[in-house]
Structure 1
Amino acid sequence: MFENNLSFARNLDQKDPLKEYRHKFHIPRHEGKEAIYFCGNSLGLQPISVRESIDKELLRWQQLAVEGHFMGETPWLHYHKQFKGPVSRLVGALPEEVVVMNNLTVNLHLMLVSFYQPEGKRFKIITEKGAFPSDQYALESQVKFHGYKPEEAIIELQPREGECNLRTEDILQTIQTHAGELALVMMGGLNYYTGQVFDMQAITQAAHQAGAYAGFDLAHAAGNVLLQLHDWQVDFAVWCTYKYLNSSPGGVAGAFIHSNHAYSANLPRFAGWWDIMNKSVF
C-alpha cells in the first residue's frame, strides 16, 4: 500500500535492487549538498568510469595516431561493431539490426529516405500531436520535399477532451480509418511531455495491416523502458544516447532497421563509406 511520506520513500530506496547504481555516477551538488536530479530526460548523469575510458582513447591517439584505426584493444575503424551486442540488448534487436552513428535527427532523415515513399493516394503520416519538436520538423520537411503540404499529409493524434494521454484504441482506429492513404506511422515510443509509453507492438501491427511502415523515436525510451523491436516487427527506430544512456552532450546516436529490410534492394537509401565496408544498409 502506497504511503505519502518520507519514511515510506526511503524504505523503497533501500529495497530497490538497482540502488547501488547510484554510486556509479557523479551527482551534481547544490549549496554543498547532492542535488535531486530530474533532468535525465535532457542529459544523463556522468558515469564515474567515463574519464578513465576517454583517457585510454586519448593515449591510443597519442601513441598510435592513424594506426589507432586498426590497432589496439578497440580499433576505431570498426567502433560500430563493438557496440552491436550491448546496443541490441538495450532495444531488443538482433546485433545486425542496430548501429551507432550520427545524431538522432540525421538518423531519422536517413530512415525516412527509405521508409517514407509516398505514392498516389498513399502519402500520409500519422504521428502524435505534441511530438518532440525535432521530429515534427523532420516530418514536415520530408513531406515538403516530396511535394505535399504538411497540413494535408500529417495526421496528428491527440487525446480525447479532458484527457492527457492517448488511448491505444484511438491510435489503432485512426490507423484503420486512414488505411487507404497511409504511408507511415512515425511517433515517439515514449512521449517526452506526458511520459506515456505507447503500445509499439500493437501500433506496428496495425500499421502493417494498413499497408504502411511503422517507426519510432526512442530518445526517451532507450535505456528507460523495456523494448523488443525485433519481436514487435518494428520497421525502424532511432534514438539518442545522451539521455538515459548517459553518453555525453553530443553523444553518438543509434538506429535500428528490422532484418526484414536490411538487405532489401527495393528500399531507396543514401549510401556512403559503410555501405562499401559492410555491404549492408549500414
Structure 2
Amino acid sequence: MKYINSRAFAEEQDQNDPLNPFRSQFHFPVKADGSPKIYLCGNSLGLQPKQTADYVQQELKDWANFGVEGHTDAKTPWLTSHEDLAEPMAKIVGAKPEEVVIMNTLTVNLHLMMVSFYKPTQTKFKILIESDAFPSDKYAVESQLKFHNIDPKDGLILWKPRENEHLCRHEDFEELLETHKDEIALVMIGSTNYYSGQAFDLRRIAKRCQKENITVGLDLAHGAGNIKPNLHDIGADFAVWCTYKYLNSGPGSIGGCFVHEKHIKSTTIDRFVGWWGHNKDSRFNMRVGFDPTPTADGWQLSNPPILSLAGTRSSLDLFEKAGFDKLREKSIQLTGFLEFLIDELKDSSISILTPRSPEERGCQLSIQMKNADRSLFKKLTTRGVVADWREPDVIRVAPAPLYNSFTDVYEFVQRLKHCLHD
C-alpha cells in the first residue's frame, strides 16, 4: 500500500475497509466530554465487544432458571461449553481442534506444560529462553529449575540481543543451540516479544529444535489473535496463551493451551491431573483410576469458569465472522501506516524498536522516545490516548485490526506530534 500523510487518506481507507463495521461492535473508553479515546492498548487488554454482556447475561439467566441442570439444559450446555471453542480457537493459532483446550490462565498452563515436557537429566537439564522474556515466563522457568534442584544460574540459557541492539538474531539462537545442544532439555520462547514487538520465526526455531531432539514450547500471550503461529505445521510440542489481550475476552480471563497431536494420546506422559481431564465417557464414575481424555482436554484440572468462557465465546464469534486471514492482512496495512506516519515526523528523538519487516512483527510498534520520561506519556494520556509506557523510554502502540481504524492511527500521531512540541 502506498501511504499518504493526511486525514483524508486515513478516512478513505476506513471507508473502503471491509472490516470497519466491526469497530462499532466494541465499547471504547470515553473522555470527560463523552468523545471516544484513541485506544491502542489491545496488547495489554482488548476492548469489550458489545455483545459480551448478552453472552454473560445468558449464562446468568440459565444459572437462575436451571441451577445445576444448566450443565445439560443451558443454551450452551456447561458440560461441553469449552469444547465448542476448540475449533474457532484452533483456527486462530493454526492447530487441530483436538490439540487445543481452553483452560486455567497462562502461567498455570505454562507450569502444567513444563511438568509434562521439561524432563531434565543429569546432563541435559538446561532451559533456553529469550533474555527479555515477559517476567512471568522467567519466574515460571526459574521456579521449575529450582523444583528440580537446579540453580537457575546453571540451568538458564538466555538468548540475548547483541551489544547496542534491541532485537534477537536467529543466527545467535542457532549458535546457542549448537553450543549447548547436549545440555538443553527445553526451549521456551515467547512468540512475539512483549517489549520490542519482535515476532520470532517460529518455524525456523521449531525445526532447528527438532533437528537436535529438543522440546520446544511457545508463549503466545502476544501472538494469539495477532500473528499466525501455525502451531501444528511447525511442530511445536506445546504452547500457552491468554485471551484477554488481542482476543478480547475480559480482564484476567481464561487461557488457552496447545499440545501437539503426537503427544495427546499418550497415557504415560507425566502430568498433574484433575477430574476434568479424565475421559469424559467415564468421568462421572468417580471411583476409577485416572484415564486421560485422548485430546488436549486431558490436561484439564477442573471444570471451566462458565462466565469467563462466555466472554471468550463472544469474541471468538467476532473473529469467526471477520476471518483471521483478513484481520492479519489489515493488521499489516494498519501497522505499516503507523510506521510511515512516525517516520514522517522526521524527529531524531524517536526510533522504532520493532522490526521493519511485517513478517517479523504483529500489530505492535514499540516507539523509543530518546531523552524523554513518563511526562511525555502523561501528556498523551491527557489528550485522550490509551497506549502503554514501558520503562525506561518506550511507548507501546498496538492498532488492533478488529476495532482500530486508520483514522485512529493518524490521530494518534497528530497528538504525539503536539505533545513533542508542547
Shorter-chain-normalised TM-score: which range? Answer: over 0.9
Tell whether the 8 Å contact from 1:97 to 1:257 is kept in structure 2 after alignment: yes
- Deviation of 1:71 after TM superposition, in Å, equals 1.5
Q: Does 1:228 align with 2:246?
A: no
Equivalent pairs, count: 282
Q: Does 1:208 align with 2:207?
A: no
Q: Aligned partner of 2:38: which letter?
A: I
2:125 corresponds to 1:162:
no
**Structure 2 residue ranges without an equivalent (≥5):** 281-291, 300-422
- Residue 30 of structure 2 corresponds to residue 49 of structure 1: no
2:30 paired residue number: 29
Q: Is the 8 A contact 1:191 1:197 kept in 2?
A: yes
Match of 1:17 in 2: 18
User: Match for 1:242: what amino acid?
Assistant: Y
**Secondary structure of the corresponding residue to residue 231 of structure 1:** helix
- Which of 129, 132, 145 aligns to 2:131? It is 129
- Return the TM-score normalized by structure 1: 0.96
The CA deviation string for residues 120-174 of structure 1, in whole angstroms up to 9 with x for no partner, is: 2110111011111110110000000001011111111111122221122222222
Aligned-residue RMSD, C-alpha: 1.4
Task: Give CA deviations for 1:156-204 in whole Å, capped at 9, x if unaligned.
Answer: 1111122221122222222222111110100101001011111111111
Q: 1:163 to 1:262 in 2, by over 3 A?
A: same
Q: Does 1:153 align with 2:146?
A: no
1:6 corresponds to: 7
Give the equivalent residue in structure 2 for 1:100.
102
Which segments of 5 or more consecutive residues in structure 1 lack a partner in the other structure? none
Paired residues of 1:182 and 1:211 also in contact (CA < 8 A): no
Residue 11 of structure 1: how far off its partner (Å): 3.5
TM-score by length of 2: 0.65
Report the structure number with the largest CA radius of gyration.
2
Whole-Å separation in 2 of the counterparts to 1:162 and 1:8: 37
Equivalents in 2 of 1:145, 1:115: separation in Å?
A: 14
Of 187, 195, 198, the match for 1:196: 198
Cα separation, 1, equivalents of 2:187 and 2:151: 17
Residue 120 of structure 2 contacts residue 126 of structure 2 at CA under 8 Å; is this kept in 1?
yes
Per-residue Cα deviation, 1:215-255 (whole angstroms, up to 9, x for no partner): 11101110111121001101000000011000011211110
Name which of structure 1's ranges 233-242 and 170-179 shifts more when overlaid on structure 2: 170-179
Q: Tell me: CA distance 1:196–1:17, structure 2 relative to 1, closer, same or farther (3 Å).
A: farther
Amino acid at match of 2:212: A
**What is the 5 A alignment of 1:80-91?**
80-91=82-93
- Decide whether the 8 Å contact of 2:26 with 2:47 is kept in 1: yes
Output one character per residue of 1:92-145: Cα deviation in whole Å (capped at 9) or x when no partner: 111110100111010000000011110021101110111111101100000000
Q: 1:17 to 1:174 in 2, by over 3 A?
A: farther
AA at the equivalent of 2:143? S
What is the rounded CA distance, in whole Å, between the counterparts of 1:26 and 1:275 in structure 2? 36
Per the alignment, residue 139 of structure 1 pairs with 141
Equivalent pairs: percent with the same residue?
49
The 10-residue stretch of structure 1 (33-42 or 59-68) with the greater mean CA deviation from structure 2: 33-42
Q: Secondary structure at the match of 2:261?
A: coil
- 1:242 corresponds in structure 2 to 244
Structure 1 residues 86 and 159: alpha-carbon distance in aligned structure 2, compared to 1, 3 A threshold: same
Check the 8 A contact 2:224/2:246 in 1, yes or no: yes
Q: Is the 8 A contact 2:215 2:237 kept in 1?
A: yes
Q: Is the 8 A contact 2:244 2:250 kept in 1?
A: yes
Aligned twin of 2:279: 277
Secondary structure of 1:70's aligned partner: helix
> Could you tell me whether the CA contact under 8 Å between 2:62 and 2:75 is conserved in 1?
no
Deviation at residue 9 of structure 1 after TM alignment: 3.3
Note if contact 1:213-1:235 (Cα within 8 Å) is conserved in structure 2.
Answer: yes
* Cα distance in 2 for residues equivalent to 1:108 and 1:207: 19
Question: In 2 relative to 1, CA 92–57 (structure 1 residues): closer, same or farther, beyond 3 Å?
Answer: same
**Match in the other structure for 1:267:** 269
**8 Å CA contact retained: 1:182, 1:210:** no
* Corresponding residue SS for 2:240: strand
Structure 2: distance between partners of 1:126 and 1:15: 45
For the Cα contact (< 8 Å) 2:187–2:214, is it kept in 1?
yes
Please say if residues 59 and 74 of structure 2, whose CA atoms lie closer than 8 Å, have aligned partners that are also in contact: no
Give 2:27's aligned amino acid: H
Q: Secondary structure at the match of 2:233?
A: coil
Q: Distance in 2 between matches of 1:12 and 1:178?
A: 49
- Whether the aligned pair in 2 keeps the contact of 1:92 and 1:230 (CA below 8 Å) is yes
Whole-Å separation in 1 of the counterparts to 2:171 and 2:23: 38
Structure 1 residue 50, shift from structure 2 partner? 0.5
